[in-house]
Amino acid sequence: MSTRRDLQRAVTPQGRGRFPGFDVLTQAHQWDRPTADVVLDRLAPPGPPTFFTTDEVRVAEPLLDLLLAQDAEPRVSVLALIDARLAAGETDGWHYDDMPGDAAAWRETLAALDADAHERYGTDYGNLDATRQARLLQDVQDHADAGRRWHDRPARHIWSLWTRYACTAFYSHPWAWNEIGFPGPAYPGGYLNPGINARESYEVSDHRDIDPVPFAARVEAARRADTDLTEEVIR
């Protein structure tokens, strides 16, 4: 009988990755039961949201896809992971003093993004194509970079809220670990070969001998030069 783990071997988000064939789940049998249960539960098909409303999902889902460049299947179910966190009240344990608590901040900022969609395009954010959704999202980042406010909140703190939750959820998932070659929790066995360019027996080498940081900087510069994404700033 196939298990959930057997059916999700060496999966990476959108089938992209620098470590071909690497599969962190080959080491699941080495983890203790509580660790394995926590990690493998993240592979479960997402259920219906328990925190976000239907209208909020229609804003949050494309927002998160854009933040993480998840533009095709297979996708990490980031929305479901964030929804579960907020429903359980599992925050980072702090929030900016000029922002409400994280749960309220998510509801407020999703409503604000939807309001921008109605103001500029006359429809819900979820009804827009990806280009127009990206334009509105770019406005928020531009406000953040300039130190401005957006809907009477510091845009930097809103951008921090969204990206902090998005990245935490994404990189908690085994598919993302496959993408970056992360061998997973070294518990209880530990790593045998620590050090630069040292690998465990089950790890594989990066098949692209290219530093991704300069490339990402070029992509960001090109994106900012795209007039489609910077046509006007919402004041």
Whether the predicted model's global pTM rises above the 0.75 cut? yes
Looking at residue 158, the DSSP 8-state letter turns out to be H
CB within 8 A of 39, min separation 6: which ones? Answer: 28, 31, 174, 184, 185
> Which tokens hold the place of 39?
């990690």
pLDDT of res. 22: 92
pLDDT score for 216: 67
Cβ contact 136:113 at 8 Å:
yes
In the three-class reduction of DSSP (H, G, I as helix; E, B as strand; rest coil), residue 149 is classed as strand
The residues facing 149 across adjacent strands are 154
Report phi then psi at 171, rounded to 5. Answer: -85, 5
Residue ranges, the chain, pLDDT below 50: 1-4, 230, 232-235
Alpha carbon distance 83, 88 (integer Å): 9
Residues 14 and 176: their CA atoms lie apart, in Å, by: 10
Predicted confidence (pLDDT) per residue in 73-128, tens digit? 999 999 999 999 999 999 999 999 999 999 999 999 999 999 999 999 999 999 99
Residue 153: strand pairing partners: 150
